[in-house]
Amino acid sequence: MKLKLIYLYPEIMNTYGDRGNVMLLEARAKDYGIEISTDYYTLGDQLDLTQYQLLFFGGGQDKGQNLIARDLMYHKAQLSDAVKRGIAGLLVCGGYQMLGSEVGLADGGVLEGLSILPVKTLVGKNRKIGNLLVQSEQFGSLVGFENHSGNTILDQSGKALAQTIKGYGNNDSAIDEGIIYRNLIGTYMHGPFLPKNIQVADWLLSRAVGKDLLTNTQSSLYKVSISARESVLGAL
């Protein structure tokens, strides 16, 4: 089996170890005998999403989001088509925000988002920083590190990834975290996220290949991930 992954704006949208999510997906794919190749997309490049089964879009400062907003909007139609087609993807923090309808920034500006996810992000007065523990119906407990000012609100049709147990998550109300939408997962969890939540990586790979992968619990990567996760859970 072969998979192609596109990593959007790696040099601009890559805060708090987010690149580690791509490294984890590449390593975990090998646990399943999947040959994965990663391409990088940045400002002004040609982009043909029809050749990709996986997408990663990391976090960024307001400045970085401003920098990419116009370029990203140029690809709105093909990103929307790719999501409808079922591309699997992980969107972290700023990347998550940019696929909503709008993104309020700390300087009072508002960026137009792609309106692919049923969310909007309003400017937040305080930064939400710290360890995050959430409980997901689909994945059980998930852990990560959040650092954002934006408050993301899901509309009626949005299904949160998880309920917040410790920390904030989507917004100041600290009720829910992230979103699960078609084959996309949006989250505020940096860290990077996937190495401590490998069950989510397995879900993304399964969606990308179009079948449920039988969890490989024997690999050293899996064992290290589980012990890392347990150490964080124990410290929270």
Catalytically active residues are 93, 190
| Binding letters toward ligand GLN, positions 41-70, x by CB under 6 A | ------------------xxxx--x-----
Query: Which of 208, 187, 212 minimizes the C-alpha distance to 86?
Result: 208
Residues between 80 and 109 that touch ligand GLN (CB under 6 A): 93-94, 97
Q: How many residues of this chain interact with ligand GLN, rule: CB under 6 A?
A: 13
By beta-carbon proximity to ligand GLN, the closer residue of 92 and 205 is 92
| CA 154/CA 118 separation, integer angstroms | 6
| CA 172/CA 127 separation, integer angstroms | 9
Kindly state whether residue 177 participates in binding ligand GLN, applying the rule CB under 6 A. Answer: no
| CA 213/CA 188 separation, integer angstroms | 26
By beta-carbon proximity to ligand GLN, the closer residue of 183 and 187 is 187
| CA 115/CA 103 separation, integer angstroms | 11
Kindly state whether residue 148 participates in binding ligand GLN, applying the rule CB under 6 A. Answer: yes
Interior angle at CA 137, CA 195 and CA 205, nearest 5: 40
- One residue of 6, 8, 15, 196 binding ligand GLN per CB under 6 A: 15
Interior angle at CA 101, CA 46 and CA 128, nearest 5: 100
Q: Which residues bind ligand GLN (CB under 6 A)?
A: 15, 59-62, 65, 93-94, 97, 147-150
